[in-house]
A and B are shown apart, each in its own frame.
Chain A
């Protein structure tokens, strides 16, 4: 039931995108997100759409799979579009009682909606093609310089990878406990808000107990292997840039330059 959420999941495949260095994907995604807010013309949207389409094609992740993950944000998007649509000042298009739709509002709502979709697509593409471990490895390497100002970079990334690793485990555990309680006649679906909240107790108590038990076991297992933080720790597979990584950086930079150029000169060009 809960496993249908695809956002933030890894999609195993063997595309160029999957094999890229995680640092490229992290920085690339960051640049992509920044680029979304650098223009305000229709042509900008077309360039972004083309770029995103090409990347999706390269990633070999089926579009249906990506689209399913988007369902999760539909509510958020409607909410945002609603406010943009009705509360942006401008020339009124039509009026109904106290509701007023303006031309600016309409444009804002549509464009913000599209931007949000681009944003989610771009960032979920990163998680689809990068395993959580690679992701934290990349983050650790990028943030390495912060070590000099006493930021515990390794510890932070270790906590992050453990947290990420625990998400599927706890989801599975939730599923199991839910079924076990349903086998004892528990009902999680019917009743009012209060009754439903109460019915969650038989689920949450065992879940917390199990989370603490697992955390304890993990700490013990790490200690048994003499884990003592990041100082002097080496990696089995250290990250190294290769030819394709530089090529990917070049592509992202060309794209970024194009978007900025459109942002500055777009109005005059067309």
Chain B
């Protein structure tokens, strides 16, 4: 078990009139190499939760363990934790600051105190991973397109070679092509390097395609943590939390209501296609 949360609570501006209980009694474990999808309505505490994972926010109450060590222990090195748990914020392109794309990606590894050659090697590797070509290395990050900026920003975190990669809505505001592109890259990283991925998203289709397990947050509480199919079978409850199941799940349910003998646990288009072909051949 790589990450363990034990009854974690966080209260914003504790003890003032503005205090808000952002996350309540959250406990879970995440294993090495898992692909976790984190979903929840706006303001449900997702962003607050992920910032606990690399120690940017300190829990008001509760314990967090990374690789078996309590991260709130006195001499625990939070900066080394942050290099192992890479966190890509929403709209990460807003953090770009260097004069060239390459220098910006070097920033992360350079902060780890590695020598120059190693930093550049990692930066180059990370840029290749997200599909940024050699011709863009010396461009100013501010000249790139939206999708390119986002990929450069993700490379900036990947260059630290984290063991866990957390992405907060990495596809927000991108066109469909840029979206598929980024999701494919993330899935590739997960497959090839066995990196643990935690993906925060609003798109149920995305998450049904990739995630091993789903975490559902509602008003600061972790209300479900299960396989995607199991979570989406509760689609009526999800709707009460202003969430939904993938559209194919609705199609399958509608078909069943019409009297067709189909299983309703299909969550991706591919699964639905197989199911429907099977029905037609019967």
Contacts and interface: CB of A to CB of B under 8 A. Distances in A.
A184 B97 contact: no
B111 interface: yes
Contacts of B89: 176, 179-180, 183
A14 B227 CA distance: 48
B108 A185 contact: yes
A201 interface: yes
A16 B114 CA distance: 61
A182 B86 CA distance: 10
Contact of B17 (A65, A177, A202): A65
B92 interface: yes
Nearest to A185: B111
Given A65-B17, A205-B97, A184 B54 contact: no
Q: Residue among B51, B56, B111, B156 with the most chain A CB within 10 A?
A: B111
Contacts of B236: none
Interface in B87-131: 87-89, 92, 94-97, 107-108, 111-112
Nearest to B57: A179
A177 B94 contact: yes
Contacts of A205: 97
Interface residues of A, number: 22
Residues of B in contact with A, size category: 20 to 34
Given A11-B17, A65-B16, A184 B94 contact: no
Contact of A210 (B13, B94, B107, B160): B94
B157 interface: yes
Given A3-B13, A206-B95, A183 B56 contact: yes
B249 interface: no
B79 interface: yes
Given A11-B17, A210-B94, A179 B160 contact: no
A201 B98 CA distance: 9
B112 A206 contact: no
Given A62-B17, A65-B17, A205-B97, A180 B92 contact: yes
Interface in B59-109: 79, 82-83, 86-89, 92, 94-97, 107-108
A202 to B, nearest CB: 5
Contact of A202 (B87, B107, B112, B160): B107
Interface in A160-213: 176-177, 179-187, 201-202, 205-206, 209-210
A112 B182 CA distance: 62
Looking at chain A's contact residues, is the secondary structure mostly helix, strand, loop, or mixed? Answer: helix
Contacts of B92: 180
Given A3-B13, A176-B89, A202-B107, A182 B56 contact: yes
Contacts of A209: 94, 142
Contacts of B16: 65
Interface string B195-213: 0000000000000000000
A44 B54 CA distance: 56
28 contacts: A11-B17, A62-B17, A65-B16, A176-B89, A176-B94, A177-B94, A177-B95, A180-B95, A181-B95, A182-B56, A182-B82, A183-B54, A183-B56, A183-B86, A183-B87, A184-B108, A184-B111, A184-B156, A185-B79, A185-B82, A185-B83, A185-B108, A185-B112, A186-B111, A187-B79, A205-B97, A206-B94, A206-B95
Interface of A: 3, 11-12, 62, 65, 176-177, 179-187, 201-202, 205-206, 209-210
Given A12-B17, A184-B157, 10 more contacts: A179-B89, A183-B54, A183-B88, A183-B89, A184-B156, A185-B83, A185-B108, A205-B97, A206-B95, A210-B94
